[in-house]
């Protein structure tokens, strides 16, 4: 049955996965980033989370999972302090050292969405399975909370460094 799910997945889903892995692997290396780029992933994740709340019939488990995950994701940002690996590059740019967070979060989000959509396609009764819906949406919430809190932390640090006229050596 697992092979049937994998082979029955549309090609565009695997292309999306390949793009996500490519983008995540690129983030393993140091780079200069325009400040706008910090908000693209969180906005996409927030849109997906909002879309889930607006379109899924089983909103209580989805809501609790997403909100719980958002809190855990934000707390992960506080613990991991990704902004410590960022320096102001001048203008509207920042220099970010290589990091694994992006790859981990996009893969977690993809896996959770894939598991939920494939699970519901095979067994629609999973829509009423509270533990399944909580777990899947908690993972989505963690990825969303982390990426959003990280973007805020990055932007606040750049604002602080730019205001102080600092540019950390690379």
127 has pLDDT over 80:
yes
Count of Cβ atoms closer than 10 Å to residue 152 Cβ: 16
17-38 residue pLDDT tens: 999 899 899 999 999 999 999 9
Non-local (6+) Cβ contacts of 48 within 8 A are 109, 113, 140, 144
- The three-point CA angle 51-54-55 to 5° equals 85
105 has pLDDT over 60:
yes
pLDDT: which is higher, 141 or 2: 141
**Residue found by looking up tokens 């989805």 in the block:** 62
58-74 residue pLDDT tens: 678 888 999 999 999 99
pLDDT at residue 170, rounded to an integer: 46
CA distance 118 to 142: 20
> Residues 101, 109: contact at Cβ < 8 Å?
no
Indicate the pTM of the whole model.
0.87
pLDDT at residue 150, rounded to an integer: 94
Question: Residue 9 burial by CB count (10 A; 0-12/13-18/19+): exposed, middle or buried?
Answer: middle
């Amino acid at each position: 049955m697992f092979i049937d799910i994998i082979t029955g997945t549309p090609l565009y889903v695997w292309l999306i996965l390949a793009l996500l892995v490519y983008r995540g692997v690129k983030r393993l290396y140091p780079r200069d980033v325009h400040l706008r780029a910090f908000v693209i992933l969180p906005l996409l994740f927030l849109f997906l989370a909002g879309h889930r709340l607006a379109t899924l019939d089983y909103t209580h488990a989805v809501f609790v999972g997403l909100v719980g995950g958002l809190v855990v994701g934000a707390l992960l940002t506080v613990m991991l302090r990704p902004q410590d690996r960022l320096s102001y590059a001048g203008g509207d740019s920042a220099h970010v050292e290589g990091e694994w967070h992006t790859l981990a979060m996009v893969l977690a989000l993809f896996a959770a969405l894939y598991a939920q959509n494939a699970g519901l396609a095979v067994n629609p009764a999973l829509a009423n399975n509270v533990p399944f819906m909580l777990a899947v949406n908690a993972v989505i919430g963690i990825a969303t909370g982390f990426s959003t809190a990280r973007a805020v932390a990055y932007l606040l640090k750049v604002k602080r460094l730019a205001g102080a006229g600092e540019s950390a050596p690379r």
